[in-house]
Structure 1
Amino acid sequence: MIGCKPSTTPMIPGAHLHQDSSTPFDDPSAYRRLIGRLIYLTNTRSDITFCVNQLAQFMACPTSFHHTAAMKVLRYLKATPALGLFFPADSVIQLKAYSDSDWASCLDIRRSVSGYCIYLGQSLVSWKSKKQRTISQSSCEAEYRALALTTCEITWLNYILEDLQYNYSMPTLLYCDNQSAIYLASNLVFHETTKHIEIDCHTIREKCSQA
């Protein structure tokens, strides 16, 4: 791949990988080794976390299409060798989180994907892209489950700061781009259509009330 053409994106925008009927890849072990290296690389390259999460779901029976998608990640890495994590010394110490979800993105079982990025000041300190355990019946529900996952991670980071004896009074900022999920987080009334996510509702509202 040294002489390959660089790519500006790690995967085709809007594409969702699935267990297709294309030709099985002739060397599954090589595919698994490649994905294993890419998973290790996500420790410092958060920009490829989502696509590696997608590719890792097909290590049992990869196809030629999945291998082509993995090669595109390598082409992207060639185009962006200088990207990484930067921790400035003069940033304001405050936790700030961004939560999002990709509703029903798995074409095989229609589960959604939760994702978050959490900053300490200007430094990215935690990130994840993970398929949800249950099927969400609406984009609001998928976004709310992503909020719950992000809230649990924020709580854990706050515990770490307390263990390090770092006290700060600034509240954690949690950003979400779904108005229905934001309204659900601040509404004290449970509706009939939201009883199945009641635990997630209580998790987020408890933390909001403590802020």
Structure 2
Amino acid sequence: MGSKPFSTLFLGNTNSLYKTENYLDNPNAFHRLIGKLFYLTNTRPYLCFTVNLLSEFMKEPTNYHYQALQHVLRYGKSSPSEGLFFAANSDIQIKGFSDSDWATCPNTRRSTIGYCIFLGSSLV
């Protein structure tokens, strides 16, 4: 609660996530925090990519992964009122947009896909 909020999400460079050193002795706190952040993505979809990327390390999280999760929480603290809003006079029309980036991950060469769905004028 007393931590300083961050104005940006940490994922500018994901190479340091793939280092295999300084594993957590007890990963239970990491697992619980990932679960809570997944629940938070229901109302804050802009966190989905970051939380999903960090959840790839559930088996053997490192201290860096845990610090990255704490950074995500501090980012969320900077904007507590942001979230989904559905206006009463909005048309109920569904629109979807997608984008993909082929072989983005430098280690696995996997592709990344992103999408957004609008219900009326609100991003779901």
TM above 0.5, yes or no, is yes
- How far off its partner does 1:105 sit? 2.8
Q: Could you say which residue in structure 1 is the equivalent of 2:82? A: 83
Q: Could you say which residue in structure 2 is the equivalent of 1:69? A: 68
Q: Which structure's CA Rg is the greater one?
A: 1
Contact 1:23 1:63 in 2 (8 A): yes
> TM-score scaled to structure 1, two decimals?
0.54
- How far off its partner does 1:90 sit? 1.5
Deviation beyond 4 Å, 4+ runs, structure 1: none
Q: 1:109 to 1:38 in 2, by over 3 A?
A: same
1:73-114 deviation line (CA, Å, top 9, x unaligned):
011011111111100121233322221224323333211121
Give the aligned CA root-mean-square deviation in angstroms: 1.6
Counterpart CA distance in 2 for 1:121 and 1:69 is 33
More helix by share: 1
Query: With CA pairs under 8 Å and 6+ residues apart, which has the higher RCO, 1 or 2?
Result: 2
2:4 maps to a residue whose letter is K
Q: 1:16 aligns with which of 8, 14, 17?
A: 14
What are the within-5 Å matches in structure 2 for residues 80-119 of structure 1?
Answer: 80-119=79-118
Query: When the two structures are aligned, how many residues end up with a matched partner?
Result: 123
Counterpart CA distance in 2 for 1:11 and 1:101 is 21
Unaligned regions of 5+ residues in structure 1, if any? 126-211
Identity %: 50
- How far off its partner does 1:68 sit? 1.3
- How far off its partner does 1:38 sit? 0.5
Unaligned regions of 5+ residues in structure 2, if any? none
1:120-146 deviation line (CA, Å, top 9, x unaligned):
220223xxxxxxxxxxxxxxxxxxxxx
What are the within-5 Å matches in structure 2 for residues 140-159 of structure 1?
Answer: none
What are the within-5 Å matches in structure 2 for residues 192-211 of structure 1?
Answer: none
